[in-house]
Amino acid sequence: MEQSSPIVEILLNSDVMQAEWVLYFLLVLFAVAIFMVLWKVVFFVVNRMRARKLRAHVAKLVAGSELEEFTAALEDHPGVEAWVLRHGLRYAANGPTAVSQQLDVATTAAKHRLELGLTFLGTVGSNAPFVGLFGTVLGIIKAFRDLSLETRAGASAVMAGISEALVATAVGLLVAIPAVVAFNYLQRQVRQTLANSDTLNQQVLFRLRATKQDG
């Protein structure tokens, strides 16, 4: 039998060329992705409830409530939309134009906060199938090596090895598909939150401009 080169023998006998670590790596990615999805879903649900309360305060402001009263109520109000408005209204003394510019700045910062963790989910969704395929390739390499070493039960050995190797591809898809679905859903939640924030910002700016004209 022709012997492999020394470097190939070293690689074949190393732990790096074993498919098991790929499966464990995929399972760790899956666990982290599940935690990330649950955290973000809870965050957006809670923030939606907070925004609903904030809309009531904004409606009062537009209806004629005093800006000072609204600003005081806003100080203790949690949520992304409230944070954006607080940042913008700090410049109310400089006029509606300055407030509008600062609201845009705060919205950009809020977008980065809302997208925290989504890059990880997108990366997992895009690359988990390739990681699983890598594990399958390693498993097939091991199966053919076993075939070369065991001539009697060679066929059964290689078939069993290949079937085990294909598990890595299946696990890669199992990790990737939920990650992609969650990534798309959370991206839609980010857009919806920013759209709601922009609506509230425009209502507050409308009141500020109306107050300036009256003054």
Residue 13's Cβ-count burial label (10 Å; 0-12, 13-18, 19+) is exposed
pLDDT (0 to 100) of residue 140: 82
Q: Is the pLDDT of residue 1 over 50?
A: no
pLDDT (0 to 100) of residue 165: 78
Report pLDDT digits (tens) over 58-117. 888 877 778 888 888 888 889 999 999 999 999 988 888 999 999 999 999 999 999 999
Q: Is the pLDDT of residue 157 over 70?
A: no
pLDDT (0 to 100) of residue 16: 58
Tokens representing 79?
Answer: 């949520």
Mean pLDDT value across the chain = 85
Report pLDDT digits (tens) over 125-138. 999 999 999 888 88
pTM of the model: 0.83
Q: Is the pLDDT of residue 39 over 90?
A: yes
pLDDT band at 193 (very low <50, low <70, confident <90, very high): very high
Question: How many residues make up the chain in this entry?
Answer: 215
Q: Which residues contact 97 (CB under 8 A, 6 or more apart)?
A: none
Question: Pick the residue with more confidence: 198 or 214?
Answer: 198
Place of tokens 């895009």: 126
pLDDT (0 to 100) of residue 183: 96
Q: Which residues contact 118 (CB under 8 A, 6 or more apart)?
A: 40, 183, 186, 187, 190
Q: Is the pLDDT of residue 215 over 60?
A: no
Query: 87 near 103, Cβ under 8 Å?
Result: yes
Q: Is the pLDDT of residue 214 over 70?
A: no
Q: Residue 14 and residue 138: Cα distance in Å, rounded?
A: 12
Task: State mean pLDDT over 16-39.
Answer: 87
